[in-house]
Amino acid sequence: MVDSGAVVVTKDLTVGYPGAVRFDAVRGVDLRVEPGEMIGIVGETGAGKSTLARVLAGRIARGVGERGPRVVGGSVSVLGMRADRPGRTARRVLGAQVGYLPQHAGRALEGGYTVAETVTQPLFDRDRHFDRRDAGTRAAELIDAVQLPLAIMTRYPWELSAGQRQRVAIARSLILQPMLWIADEPTSSVDVATRGPVLDTLLELHADRVFSAVIISHDAAVMHRSTHRVVVMHRGVLIASGTADQVLADPEHPYVRGLRDDYFLRTGAIGLPVVR
């Protein structure tokens, strides 16, 4: 049974990668995301963050021989539909209503398409008769929102910097105006001077469009700036949950204590910031 009141619900979720010896990257995770909520998932490399993001975005192995993560225990529902064993209708709906920004998405942009074509492609994949003028307007609004000049629309990804390509990928992942946005390290490759404005832009887009979001990062400072609530993953298990201030203020696990120390080092903070 699914929970129609929440955008995401996982119950005792275990996700593995099949092989000679199965490896479980996510173990026994209980997670809930409410409508309009922005949560952050933070953890070190190998903690299971990206695997969990792929499952929530529906990027899982289904058939025999398919590569990718498999739900091997528990359950997951997204937008009121089973996401661990989705039928054809559920896959179509989730594909249209869940925006997914995979890790290093900017590096994967196809070089043969202009920025405008790259950003609008999901619209035409969904409906090849979509109005081109409307598509162009949507793309321009998002390109402007992620702090890029509109002149970039006619350029190709190979003409852009790594940070610019990443921001194009963010725009592309939001073009369908999703109800749920899943972003794996959205500010990777974005230079420090631009990172803050990009995060602020995401918050503004969230306020305007009222979508839910799951943002993956290894950086507690990013989590504090851009999310309502944070969960911490370590070796596939959730070890802490709460607002960023709550998690950093009372770290019981050694990894969370390391996050707190890193946060103070990065921000120059002497004490915890005021709770929002």
Torsion, Cα 122 227 58 60, to 10 degrees, reads 130
- The reported pLDDT for the residue numbered 211 is 92
Closest CA to 169 of 203, 122, 206: 122
Q: What is the DSSP letter of 30?
A: E
Closest CA to 243 of 255, 254, 232, 253: 232
Longest dimension (CA), the chain: 56
**Position 81: which residue type?**
M
Q: Which of 34-59 are b and which e, b meaning 16 or more Cβ less than 10 Å from the residue's Cβ?
A: eeebbbbbbbeeebbbbbbbbbbbbe
Q: How many helices (H) and strands (E) does the chain have?
A: 9, 10
200 CA to centre of own chain: 16
Q: Give CA–CA dist 120/175, Å, rounded.
A: 7
List the chain pLDDT tens, one digit each, 276 residues.
455 589 999 999 999 987 757 789 999 999 999 999 999 999 888 899 999 999 999 888 776 667 778 899 999 999 998 888 777 788 888 888 999 999 889 999 998 999 999 999 999 999 999 999 999 999 999 999 888 999 999 999 999 999 899 999 999 999 999 999 999 998 887 777 777 777 888 888 888 878 999 999 887 777 788 888 999 999 999 999 999 888 888 788 888 888 888 777 766 654 444 333
Would you kindly state where each structural domain of the chain is located, as residue ranges? 8-267
Beta bridge partners of 113: none
- The reported pLDDT for the residue numbered 236 is 95
Q: What is the DSSP letter of 216?
A: E
Residues sharing a CB contact under 8 Å with residue 87, sequence separation 6 or more, in sequence order: none
8-267 belongs to CATH 3.40.50.300: yes
- The reported pLDDT for the residue numbered 63 is 64
- The reported pLDDT for the residue numbered 3 is 55
Contact 179, 211 (CB under 8 A): yes
Q: Give CA–CA dist 34/28, Å, rounded.
A: 20
- The reported pLDDT for the residue numbered 274 is 36
Q: ∠261-231-2 over CA atoms, to 5°?
A: 175
Contact 232, 255 (CB under 8 A): yes
- The reported pLDDT for the residue numbered 54 is 92
- The reported pLDDT for the residue numbered 268 is 61
Question: Hey, what are 214's tokens?
Answer: 């799951």
Q: Give CA–CA dist 248/217, Å, rounded.
A: 15
